[in-house]
Each structure stands twice: as C-alpha cells, then as structure tokens.
Amino acid sequence: MNLIDTHAHLDLLEEDVGEALERAREAGVTGVVTVGIDLHSSRRALEYAHAFPGVRAVVGIHPHDSSRLDRASLRELRRMADDPRVVGIGETGLDFYRDRSPRADQERAFRSLLELAREMSLPAVVHDREAHRETMRILEEYAPFDGLLVMHCFSGDLPMARAVMDMGGYLSVAGPVTFSNARQLQELVKELPLERLIIETDCPFLTPHPFRGKPNSPEKLVLVAEKVAELKGIALKDLKLPDPFPA
C-alpha cells in the first residue's frame, strides 16, 4: 500500500513521534501531512517535516484561535510558507459549534488565510463545523481553486460535495466513516469519485472503529482505507487515492 495521511497533528501525540511514524510506515502509510492550528503548532509541524522522511507541513490558524490572527501572525505564516516542506495553508475555516472565537473574527481570518494560500499557490485546508452555508459562501468568493482546496473531515451532504468538486476541491474523510451510525457519510463516500476523495486520521482525534475512544495515530489510517475500499466495492490493494499536496 501507498497511503497518505493527509491531516494529522503530530505535535499532539502523547507518544514518541518517530515511533508512531515507524509503525505507520510498517502499516503502509508512506506519508503524513501534519497540520498547524496556531503559530506554535505550525512551527512544530515544520520542524517535524524537516526531521522525518515522508512528513510534510501545513501551517495556519484554527477557527478557534481566529481572534489572535494579526498582521504579525500573517507575516510569520507567510515566512513559514516559503519553506519547501510547507505544502498547504490551514487549518482555517469556520467552527460555529464551539464558537471559541467570535464569528466575525473567524470569517476575517478565513478570508485572510484563503488569500495567503492563493498568494503562495498552496492548497487551503478548510475546517467546517456547523457552518456549511457560511463556509460555502466564502469559498465561492475565491473559486475556482483548481485543486488547491481540501475540505478536512468533510461533513456536508452530496450537493455540497458536488459544489466543492465543481470549485476544484478535494473531500477528506476520517475515522467517523468506520462508525456504524455514520450511514449518511458512508452513502456519500459511495457516490464520490475516487479522484476527488482523500483520507486522513486527524490524529490524535477521530479514532476509527474498533479503537474509538482511544488516541488515534497515523497507522490507523489503514482502517479508514479499508472502510472506503469496502464502500467502493474494491480490494484495498486497488484503492488509489490522490495526493493533493505538492511534494
């Protein structure tokens, strides 16, 4: 297998990162994209990308910390994005479930990071929770993306998925696709073309069945891949998914 974990948070693992990556390689996960949620974790992501083969970094500010995004932060993110090991901007977007930053600040930061992604010709990695309509409204302002858009842990419906694909975006699924009660997501995966579908762990979160409730790690991406292959009616060895991030 040649699986890419397109969204992980290696800095949040409560274990040795090198050991976790070695287990992942042994399981068939040959690449990991580690994603920043603030300046500190973005710096750590870049450090891991330089320290470990097969690791790439995405740098950005999570919606929860949107109110902290200022000109100095943008300058530092732009500086980090000049590094060839940085392959995306994010995660950014909207989270109206937790509302840990004011919604106006979330939208302002989202636009700022979409503009940075466009400036740097890098994919934007988008977080969208309980904010589908508002997320799509803002994305439509910046479309088309021509492959430079990744919807992290997609939770929308089929019409939204089609709209994202029409913009030139990719749709990512994680551990929840393995849950017995995730019928809507499973039906969605059946409908999505493989050339626009990617997978992730979001580790240490969203651990797939049968390890739900325990910390997630990159090697468990194989369980997501197995479920996607099952839903698509193909053998795991025949599951060929795109890699939306430049090497």
Residue 45 in any domain: the answer is yes
Give ∠ CA 174-2-187 in degrees, rounded to 5: 35
Residue 170 in any domain: the answer is yes
Tell me if the pTM is above 0.85.
Answer: yes
Alpha carbon distance 28, 30 (integer Å)? 6
- Give the single-character DSSP code of 236: G
Residue pLDDT, tens place only, 14-64: 999 999 999 999 999 999 999 999 999 999 999 999 999 999 999 999 999
Alpha carbon distance 3, 198 (integer Å)? 10
CB 244 within 8 A of CB 151: no
Domain total of the chain: 1
Residue 100 in any domain: the answer is yes
DSSP string for residues in 34-78:
EE-SSHHHHHHHHHHHHHSTTEEEEE---GGGGGG--HHHHHHHH
Residue pLDDT, tens place only, 170-193: 999 999 999 999 999 999 999 999
Residue 244 in any domain: the answer is no
Residue 20 in any domain: the answer is yes
Residue 59 belongs to what domain range? 3-238
Residue 216 in any domain: the answer is yes
Residue 149 in any domain: the answer is yes
Residue pLDDT, tens place only, 68-79: 999 999 999 999
One-letter amino acid at 244 equals P
Residue 245 in any domain: the answer is no
CATH number at residue 158: 3.20.20.140
